[in-house]
Homo-oligomer: A and B are copies of this chain.
């Protein structure tokens, strides 16, 4: 692989085995984008942002963090009988996972009528503890828990082709970031080990924090949900730059992919299409508008079935 040298080459293209990617439009778009960037763009501007759930790792049958929260809700319901009749503790206690799925499907379809009920439970699940204690809980859960159906630990449900892409970008002096609708503080303890992304480059949803006498405590109130229009806002707040590459898989990622479409620089918007029921899961729920926009705006759609030689 060689940089297309047009005038000054700022840095030679390196890395990029991408062996888990089949030859095709998606792989070609990635390599052409990286080569053009390396030829034209100063290192400090090479910013790439990635959604996490469904983009870097598996989000079915439920997002990893939802499993973490459900277990805590069950614990709470076991300790307090009154909670067993109230959502979302009731569904958690009865293992009625359909209720949670329906709330999330409705959310992605634009109906947030039950989201507040779910959110209140989610916020209560880990409210009132200090951030270092929360991190220890998240870390222990993530490193010890198996995915319910894939026969592997949660940390091994990261997609091999995306890990290669992250490595390829890093080798070419990109700064890679996670920009997730999931909780920022939930992912930070494992982001370096799993993705090679340091904790300070994890952007995600946040709950309000309080400070007193040297300790930072989680309050049971949201600060913001890093989804939809909030993704580009959080990217700007955190980085102060427009990214060159954005990757997502759902309607909640569209604004971020749109924000990263550049006319002044090489840019690439990647949308992962989950179409492989055999090796992973096949679904487009919550991705219909993003797929429409991909067709309209010439985003690169990555087919799990066709573009990935290996999934995990």
A211 partner, pick from B44, B202, B210, B259, beta carbons under 8 A: B259
Given contacts A214-B258, A214-B261, A258-B214, contact A240 B209 (CB under 8 A): no
Q: Which B residue's beta carbon lies closest to that of A185?
A: B240
Verify if A237 is at the interface (C-beta below 8 Å from B).
yes
Verify if A238 is at the interface (C-beta below 8 Å from B).
yes
Residues A87-117 near B (CB distance < 8 A): none
**B216 in contact with A233 (CB, 8 Å):** yes
Verify if A16 is at the interface (C-beta below 8 Å from B).
no
Q: A302–B209 Cα gap in the complex (Å)?
A: 31
Q: A259–B212 Cα gap in the complex (Å)?
A: 9
A-B pairs, 5 with minimum CB distance: A211-B229, A199-B240, A209-B233, A200-B239, A188-B240
Verify if A279 is at the interface (C-beta below 8 Å from B).
no
Verify if A143 is at the interface (C-beta below 8 Å from B).
no
Q: A210–B233 Cα gap in the complex (Å)?
A: 7
Contact with B along A229-262 (1 / 0, CB 8 A): 1101100111111000000000000010011010
Verify if A131 is at the interface (C-beta below 8 Å from B).
yes
Verify if A198 is at the interface (C-beta below 8 Å from B).
yes
Residues A188-207 near B (CB distance < 8 A): 188, 192, 198-200, 202, 206
Q: A239–B131 Cα gap in the complex (Å)?
A: 13
Given contacts A240-B200, A240-B202, contact A214 B259 (CB under 8 A): yes
**Number of identical protomers:** 2
A232 partner, pick from B206, B211, B230, B255, beta carbons under 8 A: B211
Q: Which B residue's beta carbon lies closest to that of A47?
A: B200
**B229 in contact with A210 (CB, 8 Å):** yes
A237 partner, pick from B209, B210, B229, B261, beta carbons under 8 A: B209
Residues of A within 8 A of B (CB): 44, 131, 175, 184-185, 188, 192, 198-200, 202, 206, 209-214, 216, 229-230, 232-233, 236-241, 255, 258-259, 261
**B206 in contact with A237 (CB, 8 Å):** yes
Q: Which B residue's beta carbon lies closest to that of A230?
A: B211
**A255 in contact with B211 (CB, 8 Å):** yes
CB distance from A208 to the nearest CB of B (A): 9
Residues of chain B lying within 8 A (CB to CB) of residue A185: 240
Residues of chain B lying within 8 A (CB to CB) of residue A214: 258-259, 261
Given contacts A214-B259, A261-B214, contact A200 B241 (CB under 8 A): yes
Residues of chain B lying within 8 A (CB to CB) of residue A44: 192, 198
Residues of chain B lying within 8 A (CB to CB) of residue A198: 44
Residues of chain B lying within 8 A (CB to CB) of residue A211: 229-230, 232-233, 255, 259
**B238 in contact with A238 (CB, 8 Å):** yes
Residues of chain B lying within 8 A (CB to CB) of residue A233: 209-211, 216
**B212 in contact with A229 (CB, 8 Å):** yes
Q: A43–B40 Cα gap in the complex (Å)?
A: 31
- Other contacts beyond A200-B241, A214-B259: 16, CB < 8 A: A175-B200, A184-B237, A184-B240, A199-B239, A199-B240, A200-B239, A200-B240, A202-B240, A211-B229, A211-B230, A211-B232, A211-B233, A212-B229, A213-B258, A216-B233, A216-B236
